[in-house]
Structure 1
Amino acid sequence: MRYLLRLLIISTLFFIGATNAWSQKIALSGKIVDAATFEPVSYATISVKGTTTGTRSDFDGSFHLTFTRTKDSVTITCVGYREKSVYVSDKATQNLTIRLQPSAQTLQEVRVGPKGYINPAWAILREIVKHKATNDPANLQSYQYKSYNRIELDASHLSDKLLRKKFIGQALSLADSLNVTDADHVPVLPLFLSETISNYYYRKSPEAKKEDIIHTRTKGIGFEDGTLLAQLTGSTFQQYNFYKNFVSAAGKDFVSPITDSWKGWYDYELDNRDAMVGDVKCFQISFKPKRPQDLAFTGTIWVVKDTYALYRIKATVQPASNLNFINQIKIEQQMGGNGKGPLLPNKTRILVEVDQLTKNSTGFLAKLYTTNTDITTGKTYGSDFFKKSISVADDAQAVDEHFWDTNRPDSITAAEKSVYHLIDTVKSLPTVKNYLIVADLLINGYYRAGKISYGPFLNTFSVNNVEGPRFRLGFRTNSSFDKKWILGGYVAYGMKDKEIKFGASVDYILSRKHWTEAGISYSHDLNQVALLSDSYLYQRNNLFAALTRFGPVAKRKPFDQDLITAYISRDLFKGFTEKVTLSNWSLDPLFAFRFQDNNPNVSQKMVVSELQLETKWSPGSQPLISETVNRPLSVKSKATAPVFTFRYTLGFKNFLGSDINYQKFSVNVIQTLKTGRFGRGKYSFSAGYIPSTVPFPLLENHLGNETALYNPNAFNLMHFFEFASDKYANLSYTQHFEGLLLNEIPFIAKLKWRLVGTANVLYGDLSSANRYNINQNPSISLSGLGSKPYIETGYGVENIFKFLRVDFIHRITYRDHAPAPDVNPKNFGIKVSAQLRL
């Protein structure tokens, strides 16, 4: 009996102790994250298993839950993720990071039955579109807010070859020790991190934007100018509005899930009629593209029940979309306010996952996070308030770690804080410094060695039928030499003509605030008459200039040139640049040429002095200020705004030995067009007038293309020196159809080929005096255009193996025209080109 009583007392005490343990208060907190990307999972439900006790994570994935421990686990559920149960210990205070595995989100098929069943989500979508004008924040007359932006770029999915590199191993070992890893606990290599606090202002009419950057800090491997980066990483360029029919991201136009034509693009499912986002009652609707290859989103929207305003959205672009190199784009956005009236974004999170370009390269993970607070609407601003679009406070970078810890609107983890230290450490590795030198060479074309940069390397070697093998060595100073003075020069030698060519230049930056610079240069080198065109189709760049040194240069009428140029350029106001250039150059022909002598076999040297005034207006262009970059920089806040350029050229005789008086006028408009489901188009319109009588090299010799490569800056079925004009108008148009039509063909859709269309129309004429001058040169067979225009059109396929493009081009007019008796007209051609487009 004594032993039975003892056993009973012990059992009772154990039961009481166990009851106390299982009924104690537990304070559970933590963060819900995506197991694949480590991005926060917003508004996941956390419930104590077997009870009605629970809570939800906030926009940043954080949660706090206090409960009486009667069960040993909690269950986490969220749309788009697998349900997960997590064990809870008996500790009074616990902090957990819970990783949810994404699930393949599928929407139920909606069938129309005998009774005419209609998807209940459709009625809500119709109301969303109906109420757009009321809810779209773009219709607010003005607004302002304080904005916090954080941007991080990491190298991920490193190849086996890179992992064998000693410096990569050192960096990843350090990342692992600091717990900077991906979802599989594999260390990633942070490359760039920035935080910016700014005040942002907007006015609708007349439209104007302004951002005052108050505080900023940046760390990056290969990035030095914090002031420049602050202007790029602020709130100005992080704007997404899903009320528009198409949302621009990564240079593409993705159809919005609440587009006016929603039924033709998406399938919808009403998940919850009474979903709560904070204190706001919403409809919760899932959506997915009807065609996986379309540039469209998969995700969920939360729509305010009373006003049909978009309150929250999770939108993901999947790898099946017709995109290159991008595994995923994920945009998550929540509006501020109580659901009444136009709502501005309160929090935005963007994730872009870039695939490896090659098996021996690396992938990238870009994370962008924005929080907007102190939102105010309807304020009136003075006339000069928006005069300066972006400003950076003088002491913007003069804050320490304590400031950021106390002023971030949302806390960051210890691992996220350690990224700054990790970037500094990686930058100090000697091998990394060498890789940065190589990267600078590939991007800028120059090899930087201290204060001197050598290059451009594309011009180092070429071969043509006039110079033979040509070798060139050039240099220019960089910002380490001086932040205002830029010195440059080069020397070249041709093995066949045995001629030394050379050049030198001096440039001086007078002001960076309103970019103002002046310079003078001199060169003695070989040039080509075919490249003297004033047409805006021909835009000089390093690659094109290098290619013109190869091949049959003699066909393009080469000449020795001595050129001296002086210029001054200034940004008079935002987007408006004026440039004045004075030049003197000689044309010493390597072909039969005459302009003042009646002897057809005489080759005469011609000297020209000219003054050129150029005005360029780029509305929507945002100039950027940098103390380390020795060239003007700008970013277009309006990607589709046109760019206007006007040039007036005056040639005058008897100045520095010049032989000719003449005038030239020309104008150009270039613009990218968003054309909805038809992709993007781009046109260039040029017109010019030469009222003077001039030798044929000074006419507009329309640029032809006699190579197998497609040249968007030329008439691809026109021979060199086939047509010339002294008055002309030209329209060039290219339409990138993205995946239109080809996405409908199953096999082709998987290849991600895309249609492209082109058209080139030229009107031109020659005065009788200029026709006579041409006829005095038997070495040339130029002719003017008649009453009908020159037209060529084309169609093609791009994105073949992600970088090849093939164009099929037809010559519509002048099909029997030939520039010379022994030359046949080109009425059809197949041109190949290489390009990298997302």
Structure 2
Amino acid sequence: MKTRIQTIILICALALPFFAVKASAQQHTVISGVVTDAADKDPIPYVTVLFKGTNIITKTDADGKYSISTSEVHNQLQFSYVGYKTNYATIKPGETQVINVRLQSESQSLTEVVISSNKRPAYRNKNNPAVELIRKVIENKNKNQSKSYDHVEFKQYEQLVFSLSNLSEKFKNKRIFRNYQFLFEQQDSTKIGGKLLMPVYMEEKVTQNYLQKNPNKKKTIVEGDKHVNYDSKFIDTQGLSMYFERMYADINIYDSNISLMSNQFLSPIADASPTFYKFFITDTIKTHTPNLIELSFIPRNNTDLLFEGKMYVTMDGNYAVQDAFLTVNKNINLNFVRALEAKLDFAKNEDGRYHLSKTNLIVDFGINKNKGGGFTGQRTVIINDYQINKPQGDTTYAGPSLVTLPQAALRTDQFWNAQRQDSTVRSKLSVYKNIDTLQTIPSFKRTMDLITLLFAGYKDFGPFEVGPVNTFYSFNNVEGFRLRLGGRTTPALSKRYYFETYAAYGFKDEKWKYFLSGTYSLNNKSIYSFPQNYVRASFQRDTKIPGQELQFVQEDNFLLSFKRGQNDMLLYNDFYKIDYIKEYENHFSYAVSLRKWTQRPGGTLAFNNTLNNTVNPVDLINTSEISVNLRYAPHEKFYQGKIYRVPIFDRYPIFNLRYTAGLKGVFSGQYNYHNLMGSIDKRFYVSQLGYTDVTLEGGSIFGKVPFPLLVIHRANQTYSYQLSSYNLMNFLEFVSDHYASINIDHNFNGFFFNKIPLIKKLKLRESVSFKALYGGLRDQNNPDMDPSLLQFPRNADGVQTTYVLGNQPYMEGSVGIGNIFKILRVDMVKRFTYLDNPVVSSWGIRARVKFDF
């Protein structure tokens, strides 16, 4: 959930106190129905439906269904489609009604009698002129893309508007808005998003772009940047911008896969598109030069993550897309998405080919698929001054690929008015002033505080905030009931200095735990903002379960107090640390750390060695370390808040390399050793089959060390499914001084469930995972070979519970069902190896909160 906190906070803050779900009851004509072939009763897609004599128009979907409405008075509805007779239906103004229509095929004069079946032949690719046409488009798509030119440059204007949508008159007339009617916008009820909107966010950007083919280079210069500013201690405007940019990505129909809503859709002109789409020639346009053919397309299976719509193809030998309209079938598995439309316009280049000149993407979200209030986002991109084959010098491409001019955020109204050449983008400008007014409403401020507390877990007090609330109370077998209270400073106190602290007390072990850190930003920016550059000093005295590594949650989170199996071994740690972190614009970063670490056993865990056949208890071990971490994450983006930052998973790999050296004799350090670890994380998209997350990791320790300094493999005894941990491995079950592992997690995005009757209505998503770990222990670090080392832990019954991996790897896999209530993933996990170890589970059920579109 945390990866979506900033957007959830904004949405809930605006909607929670006064959200309404029913449309107004004034005179309104609403008509829906199905259009079918009169002969075989098959549904007809893309039939034009309109109120006769008006521009209020819609199209039937892939199942022949339509819905249209108006507040005007009209008596007839018109249905028309190429190859069928136009039909008219009488309607009753001001009522909601269902009208199903059958269209008759147009008869033609024949010179001879032909007897044939009324049933239309099955759709086939073979000898299909529409498929032959799309294959010509595919064959020529390389030359019709911008990357086919040696040099390209253009100026781009983009506008993104996010609104509360489909609001009722009751909502509008609430007392809270009595003096703020200017916040609302009226629009035609046939448009996506409904008839009443309240814009809540807007941003505009102007960039100058340069592309070079050989060698491949790209340069983007941000010349103007303007957006709504929320005066919130938690919502960060830059974070909202990054989140919306991920959701409303650029659409290039010539790409094989198009990224939208954190998913990838197979393009209708991808090489494999004839296998997954049906194509129909639905019109020819001879009034345009060159002549165009209207090519409509629908998915072969309307539950697959594919588009439906139409494109206009030039008949001049280039077979270029001159215009395109993309939407999606309501049956596909997209959370909360009620409607999606993308309109692509192309303009002719000086060489007769075409380039994308305008994109308009609209997505409407809502809890209820069919009615009620929701949220609508609209992104418009306009490309001007498009020039081809105009070489630029090396100085143009020097430095980072993305540069923001210092004056970009300070542009005058005169500058922006010159960029807003389209009337549709100029109509939205009132949102800047309206949001400033909205933030003066006391109820809005109170709601912001409440939502921040519920979702982020912190209560804001200006320069300082208290939290997270889910750690205030927890429990475990060693500490008993554990109470904790803490907090941290915010940028309201200082943009250079940050402090964080907490204190905790265990009522069973009767020990205090505490933490204190101070951070100094070296670039006068928030330490959570990219690129980071800061130094931090900290001290922590607290417990830790060896081998437990959690993602995005605190170890003393109340919900993680519930654990399976034995859980009575932990370490009492004292950490003194100094960290320096430096990030670069190209997303390479390094961190240098100095750490003094003292470990004491707790619970049933004991430090013992054997000397002269005598078992000797050891009170503690001291370690002094220096570490260097290198990280490279090309094209990485973040969900950014004022006081947190979480990476966005994407198709680009992330490389990590860490080297740690133990320093004997430095600050009482007892061991010399070298620890090297490396990992690669990569997401692979498989179009409508979903995506796969793969992690490869390996490491080695050189030197003689006791078991607490070995690699204690990540285990999980909670009932929460942890992606990076082994969910059926016990804490401290396996240790190694050299290892390699692979972690594969694939999400099918409902590819199979969507094809099962009834089940598909639940919008469930299937997933599978597999994890394998190879490892070993050299004799010098094995206490069975060297009794002077600390003995491996044993439980209260004296049974050894820590082991070395043998010739076979540790392996486990899972089959999961996700998107339960749109937020929950439940996995059945199976352990395949080392089933004879004591107190292990061969299978289990684990759950994880996972919020996706």
Q: Deviations over 1:320-375 (max 9, x none)?
A: 11111111221111112259566331000010111127999952100111101001
What is the alpha-carbon distance in structure 2 between the residues aligned to residue 589 and residue 161 of structure 1? 63
1:299 counterpart = 2:309: yes
What is the alpha-carbon distance in structure 1 between the residues aligned to residue 325 and residue 559 of structure 2? 49
Q: Deviations over 1:454-478 (max 9, x none)?
A: 2222322212222222222212111
**Residue 132 of structure 2, aligned match among 112, 117, 123:** 123
**Residue 530 of structure 1, aligned match among 539, 547, 551:** 547
Equivalent residue letter for 1:566: I
What is the alpha-carbon distance in structure 2 between the residues aligned to residue 107 and residue 643 of structure 1? 58
1:197 counterpart = 2:220: no
Whether contact under 8 Å (2:366, 2:372) holds in the other structure is no
1:505 counterpart = 2:517: yes
Whether contact under 8 Å (1:575, 1:622) holds in the other structure is no
Q: Deviations over 1:70-93 (max 9, x none)?
A: xxxxx999989x9999xxxxxxxx
Whether contact under 8 Å (1:566, 1:582) holds in the other structure is yes
State the shift of 1:114 in Å. Answer: 14
Whether contact under 8 Å (2:167, 2:196) holds in the other structure is no
**Residue 466 of structure 2, aligned match among 454, 457, 463:** 454
What is the alpha-carbon distance in structure 2 between the residues aligned to residue 326 and residue 615 of structure 1? 39
1:594 counterpart = 2:611: no
Q: CA 1:670 to 1:583, structure 2 compared with 1: closer, same or farther past 3 Å? A: same
Whether contact under 8 Å (1:355, 1:364) holds in the other structure is yes
Whether contact under 8 Å (1:523, 1:563) holds in the other structure is yes
Q: Secondary structure at the match of 2:433?
A: helix
Q: Secondary structure at the match of 1:706?
A: coil
1:617 counterpart = 2:637: no
Q: Deviations over 1:54-85 (max 9, x none)?
A: 9x9xxxxxxxxxxxxxxxxxx999989x9999
Q: Secondary structure at the match of 1:416?
A: coil
**Residue 173 of structure 1, aligned match among 170, 181, 185:** 181
Q: CA 1:291 to 1:235, structure 2 compared with 1: closer, same or farther past 3 Å? A: closer
1:810 counterpart = 2:833: no
State the shift of 1:712 in Å. Answer: 1.5
**Residue 537 of structure 2, aligned match among 520, 525, 542:** 520
1:255 counterpart = 2:242: no
Q: Superposition pairs for residues 722-733 of structure 1, below 5 Å?
A: 722-733=733-744
When Rg is computed on C-alpha atoms for both structures, the one with the higher figure is: 1
Q: Aligned residue for 1:151?
A: 160
1:356 counterpart = 2:356: no
Q: CA 1:541 to 1:114, structure 2 compared with 1: closer, same or farther past 3 Å? A: closer
1:830 counterpart = 2:839: no
Equivalent residue letter for 2:386: I
Q: Secondary structure at the match of 1:121?
A: helix
Q: Aligned residue for 2:674?
A: 663
Equivalent residue letter for 2:553: N
1:749 counterpart = 2:760: yes
Equivalent residue letter for 1:265: F
Whether contact under 8 Å (1:149, 1:234) holds in the other structure is no
State the shift of 1:543 in Å. Answer: 4.8
1:311 counterpart = 2:331: no
Q: Aligned residue for 2:590?
A: 578
What is the alpha-carbon distance in structure 2 between the residues aligned to residue 736 and residue 520 of structure 1? 40
TM-score of the superposed pair, with normalisation by structure 2: 0.78
**Residue 439 of structure 1, aligned match among 451, 454, 457:** 451
Q: Aligned residue for 2:578?
A: 566
TM-score of the superposed pair, with normalisation by structure 1: 0.79
Equivalent residue letter for 1:593: A
Q: Aligned residue for 1:62?
A: none
**Residue 281 of structure 1, aligned match among 291, 296, 299:** 291
Q: Aligned residue for 1:787?
A: 807
State the shift of 1:275 in Å. Answer: 5.3
Q: Aligned residue for 1:344?
A: 355
Q: Aligned residue for 1:366?
A: 377
1:321 counterpart = 2:332: yes
Q: CA 1:450 to 1:800, structure 2 compared with 1: closer, same or farther past 3 Å? A: closer
Number of equivalenced pairs: 745
Q: CA 1:154 to 1:572, structure 2 compared with 1: closer, same or farther past 3 Å? A: closer
Q: CA 1:205 to 1:635, structure 2 compared with 1: closer, same or farther past 3 Å? A: farther
1:799 counterpart = 2:819: yes
What is the alpha-carbon distance in structure 2 between the residues aligned to residue 359 and residue 497 of structure 1? 56
Q: Aligned residue for 1:17?
A: none
Equivalent residue letter for 1:150: Q
State the shift of 1:750 in Å. Answer: 2.4
Q: CA 1:142 to 1:359, structure 2 compared with 1: closer, same or farther past 3 Å? A: same
What is the alpha-carbon distance in structure 2 between the residues aligned to residue 294 and residue 261 of structure 1? 14
1:693 counterpart = 2:691: no
Q: Superposition pairs for residues 375-390 of structure 1, below 5 Å?
A: 375-383=386-394, 385-390=397-402
State the shift of 1:556 in Å. Answer: 5.7
Q: Aligned residue for 1:334?
A: 345
Q: Superposition pairs for residues 3-18 of structure 1, below 5 Å?
A: none
State the shift of 1:631 in Å. Answer: 6.4
State the shift of 1:383 in Å. Answer: 4.2
Q: Secondary structure at the match of 1:213?
A: strand
Whether contact under 8 Å (1:147, 1:235) holds in the other structure is no
What is the alpha-carbon distance in structure 1 between the residues aligned to residue 513 and residue 124 of structure 2? 85
Q: Aligned residue for 1:22?
A: none
Q: CA 1:798 to 1:549, structure 2 compared with 1: closer, same or farther past 3 Å? A: closer
Q: CA 1:138 to 1:421, structure 2 compared with 1: closer, same or farther past 3 Å? A: same
State the shift of 1:614 in Å. Answer: 0.3
Q: Secondary structure at the match of 2:409?
A: coil
Q: Secondary structure at the match of 1:619?
A: coil
Whether contact under 8 Å (2:249, 2:260) holds in the other structure is no
Whether contact under 8 Å (1:807, 1:831) holds in the other structure is yes
State the shift of 1:124 in Å. Answer: 0.6
What is the alpha-carbon distance in structure 2 between the residues aligned to residue 115 and residue 352 of structure 1? 32
Which structure is higher in RCO with an 8 Å CA cutoff and minimum separation 6? Answer: 2
What is the alpha-carbon distance in structure 2 between the residues aligned to residue 205 and residue 106 of structure 1? 55
What is the alpha-carbon distance in structure 1 between the residues aligned to residue 792 and residue 774 of structure 2? 24
What is the alpha-carbon distance in structure 1 between the residues aligned to residue 104 and residue 511 of structure 2? 72
Q: Aligned residue for 1:492?
A: 504
State the shift of 1:577 in Å. Answer: 0.4
State the shift of 1:827 in Å. Answer: 2.6
State the shift of 1:227 in Å. Answer: 6.9
State the shift of 1:391 in Å. Answer: 2.6
What is the alpha-carbon distance in structure 1 between the residues aligned to residue 206 and residue 160 of structure 2? 12
Identify which range, 432-441 or 608-617, moves more after superposition. Answer: 432-441
Q: CA 1:682 to 1:655, structure 2 compared with 1: closer, same or farther past 3 Å? A: same
Q: Deviations over 1:178-205 (max 9, x none)?
A: 6578669854322101122221223344
Equivalent residue letter for 1:213: V
Give the unaligned 5+ runs of structure 2.
1-29, 32-47, 58-76, 89-97, 106-117, 784-788
State the shift of 1:236 in Å. Answer: 13
Q: Secondary structure at the match of 2:332?
A: coil
**Residue 265 of structure 1, aligned match among 258, 273, 276:** 276
Whether contact under 8 Å (1:197, 1:214) holds in the other structure is yes
Identify which range, 707-716 or 328-337, moves more after superposition. Answer: 707-716
Q: Deviations over 1:97-149 (max 9, x none)?
A: xxxx9999999999448999943211111111111222233333332211111
What is the alpha-carbon distance in structure 1 between the residues aligned to residue 488 and residue 436 of structure 2? 29
State the shift of 1:316 in Å. Answer: 0.6
Q: Alignment identity in percent?
A: 25
Q: Secondary structure at the match of 1:604?
A: coil
What is the alpha-carbon distance in structure 1 between the residues aligned to residue 382 and residue 254 of structure 2? 20
1:716 counterpart = 2:724: no
Whether contact under 8 Å (1:465, 1:551) holds in the other structure is no
Whether contact under 8 Å (1:283, 1:302) holds in the other structure is yes
Q: Secondary structure at the match of 2:671?
A: coil
Whether contact under 8 Å (1:196, 1:233) holds in the other structure is no
Q: Aligned residue for 1:68?
A: none
What is the alpha-carbon distance in structure 1 between the residues aligned to residue 102 and residue 707 of structure 2? 66
State the shift of 1:781 in Å. Answer: 2.5
1:767 counterpart = 2:778: yes
Q: Aligned residue for 2:27?
A: none
**Residue 691 of structure 2, aligned match among 680, 685, 696:** 680
Question: RMSD of the alignment, in Å?
Answer: 4.2
Q: Aligned residue for 1:605?
A: 620
